[in-house]
Amino acid sequence: MTKAIADKAGLKDCPALMDHPVARALVRDAHHRMYRWPAGFAGYRADLTLNDEGRILKGAVQLIPRKDTTVELPGADPANQEWVRERLWTQGMHLAHTTFEEGDGRYVLSFDPEEDPAGLHPRGRRVLLTGGRLDSWYRIKHCQYTQIGRITPMTERRVNTIERYGQAPDGRQYSSHYVMTYFTLDGASVVGMESYVNEYKDVQGVWLPLCRRVSFGERGLVRTRVIELSNHEVLA
């Protein structure tokens, strides 16, 4: 158990949290419901259009799962091009094939000891993941992730609140709308918030990104950028 979770739970003298079979089953079921690319999927190329508050830029992207994401966006500010690359790279990481045993199944999965088991939190019970690089937790309800919390060492605390799911052609689900909230490391202040709306399309039997609409606050305004992909090509 990490020190941050131990301190939060008031268990500083406790050597470890015990794995809870019900918590493990909740995370396993939610994992299996999520759409992920096939194990042998090599990646994709696509034409890319960025609409940044009405300014249109065109380019291309190539993504190889868990290895590389390259964005070419002529005329874009380097920071904006990196912003696009990071949003597509993060999306690809979430879609990349991972078994439960290779992912969350490696960690100790237990319910938050501070929560009342009989409570009716609107987003479900909180499950703590201990033993990983990041301090993480999930809220799960109706076999769906409803919130995902991460603490990145020395940088930030963030919570992904999933508002809506869509269904891929094979019946599994994907997050079609979620809100990312960023906090200071001590959790005392909100320092940023982003709203994501995602659309996909079936390309040769693989569910590939079609559009990402991101809205975020900046300098007293709410800005919106839309990343659209077209002419997809599945890599061999």
Which pLDDT value is given to residue 118?
85
Which pLDDT value is given to residue 16?
61
pLDDT, tens digit, 9 for 90 and up, residues 192-233: 999 999 999 999 999 999 999 999 998 889 999 999 999 999
Which residues lie below 8 Å from residue 106, measured CB to CB, with a gap of 6+?
131, 132
Q: Residues 200, 168: contact at Cβ < 8 Å?
A: yes
Please name which of 46, 35, 102, 98 lies closest in space to residue 69, comparing C-alpha atoms. 46
The pTM of this model reads 0.88
Which residues lie below 8 Å from residue 153, measured CB to CB, with a gap of 6+?
133, 134
Residue 213: CB atoms within 10 Å:
16
Which pLDDT value is given to residue 190?
93
Domain boundaries, the chain: 3-42+103-234
Distance CA 32, CA 98 (A): 10
Per-residue pLDDT of the chain (236 residues; tens, 9 = 90+): 334 444 443 333 344 679 999 999 999 999 999 999 999 999 999 999 999 999 999 999 999 999 999 999 999 999 999 999 999 999 999 999 999 999 999 999 999 999 998 888 999 999 999 987 778 999 999 999 999 999 877 778 999 999 999 999 999 999 999 999 999 888 889 999 999 999 999 999 999 999 999 999 988 899 999 999 999 999 99
pLDDT, tens digit, 9 for 90 and up, residues 66-78: 999 999 999 999 9
